């Protein structure tokens, strides 16, 4: 009988020892354990080896103090100019007030993600499409401030929100592509016209310099002929007998008047010479 009692006592002692030893916990450096004793919050424990009284104590969760990241995707949302878009984003957040994280919200991860989704949809609804596409950082910063103001009540700090992708309807993408192509063509034409204008200005300036210096124009003409001769071995270059002269060319009216004047002078000289010759013959 005594042997049975000793075995029973030993078995009970083993069970009690196992229960007492079950209260020993090992907590990582980045983790904290909230402890509830008889349903009341008794504080946070960790890191390292801690002891939690069994039976009367409970650990509802393990809290991580490290920075966490979640990706979320909004449903189709209308922008301020009524364009449907779908936005993919990433949010970085970190629990800073662990007591609020335990007592103020049931699951801070789910609550933070839902707050981010609804807030981003609100921000998109107040933003034009062009601003959303061109100023992602500005929209993301505005969303971060609003989300952080919501999550602050349960002890979570939102450090950053980044927009990864913006999906817009395919027909709108094609229209934007055509618009961008037309804008590039317009810029190219304006640039070409500006280049022609500047080239014309420089040519006018060069012509004004050659007007006052015929020798410089001659040298330039000879240099141009030399460059043409260097283009190829089989190229023929015809050099005019009368080299051009810098300056404005005479008008057709001036040429006609000058020609008539020379012709009139020639005829007058001929007539006078012929009359003298005839008179001399008659006298003889």
User: Please, which pLDDT band fits residue 6 given cuts at 50, 70 and 90?
Assistant: confident
Question: pTM for the full model?
Answer: 0.62
What architecture does CATH give domain 68-168? 2-Layer Sandwich (3.30)
Residue 247 or 78, more confident: 78
**Whole-number Å distance between alpha carbons of 139 and 197:** 43
pLDDT at 282 over 60: no
**Average pLDDT across the chain, whole number:** 81
> Is 90 exceeded by the pLDDT of residue 67?
yes
Residue 235 binned pLDDT confidence (cut-offs 50, 70, 90): low
pLDDT at 226: 72
Band of pLDDT at residue 158, cut at 50, 70 and 90: very high
Quick: pLDDT tens for 182-210.
988 899 999 999 999 998 888 888 778 77
* Residues written for the chain: 284
Reference 69, options 154, 131, 158; nearest CA is: 158
Domain spans, the chain:
20-64, 68-168, 174-225
pLDDT for residue 118 is more than 90: yes
- Burial (CB count within 10 angstroms: exposed 0-12, middle 13-18, buried 19+), residue 143: buried
Instruction: Compute CA distances 47 → 26, 29, 62, 65, whole Å.
Output: 7, 5, 11, 11
Q: What confidence tens digit (pLDDT) does each residue in 257-275 have?
A: 444 445 445 544 444 444 4
SS3 162: strand
């Amino acid at each position: 009988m005594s042997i049975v009692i000793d075995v029973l006592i030993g078995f009970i002692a083993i069970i009690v020892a196992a229960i007492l030893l079950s209260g020993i916990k090992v907590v990582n450096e980045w983790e904290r354990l909230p402890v509830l004793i008889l349903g009341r919050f008794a504080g946070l424990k960790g890191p390292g080896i801690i002891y939690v009284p069994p039976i009367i104590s409970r650990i509802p969760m393990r809290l991580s103090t490290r920075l966490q990241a979640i990706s979320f995707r909004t449903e189709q949302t209308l922008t301020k100019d009524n364009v449907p878009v779908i936005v993919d984003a990433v949010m970085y957040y970190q629990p800073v007030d662990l007591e609020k994280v335990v007592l103020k919200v049931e699951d801070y991860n789910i609550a933070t993600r839902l707050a981010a989704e609804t807030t981003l949809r609100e921000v998109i609804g107040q933003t034009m499409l062009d601003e959303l596409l061109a100023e992602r950082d500005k929209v993301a910063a505005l969303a971060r401030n609003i989300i952080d103001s919501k999550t602050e009540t349960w002890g979570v700090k939102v450090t950053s929100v980044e927009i990864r992708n913006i999906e817009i309807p395919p027909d709108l993408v094609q229209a934007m592509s055509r618009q961008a192509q037309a804008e590039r063509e317009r810029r190219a034409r304006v640039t070409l016209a500006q280049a022609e204008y500047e080239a014309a200005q420089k040519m006018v300036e060069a012509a004004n310099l050659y007007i006052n210096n015929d020798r410089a124009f001659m040298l330039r003409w000879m240099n141009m002929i030399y460059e043409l001769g260097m283009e190829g071995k089989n190229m023929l270059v015809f050099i005019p007998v009368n080299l051009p002269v810098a300056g404005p060319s005479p008008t057709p009216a001036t040429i006609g008047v000058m020609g008539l004047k020379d012709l009139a002078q020639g005829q007058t000289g001929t007539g006078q010479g012929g009359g003298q010759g005839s008179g001399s013959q008659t006298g003889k």
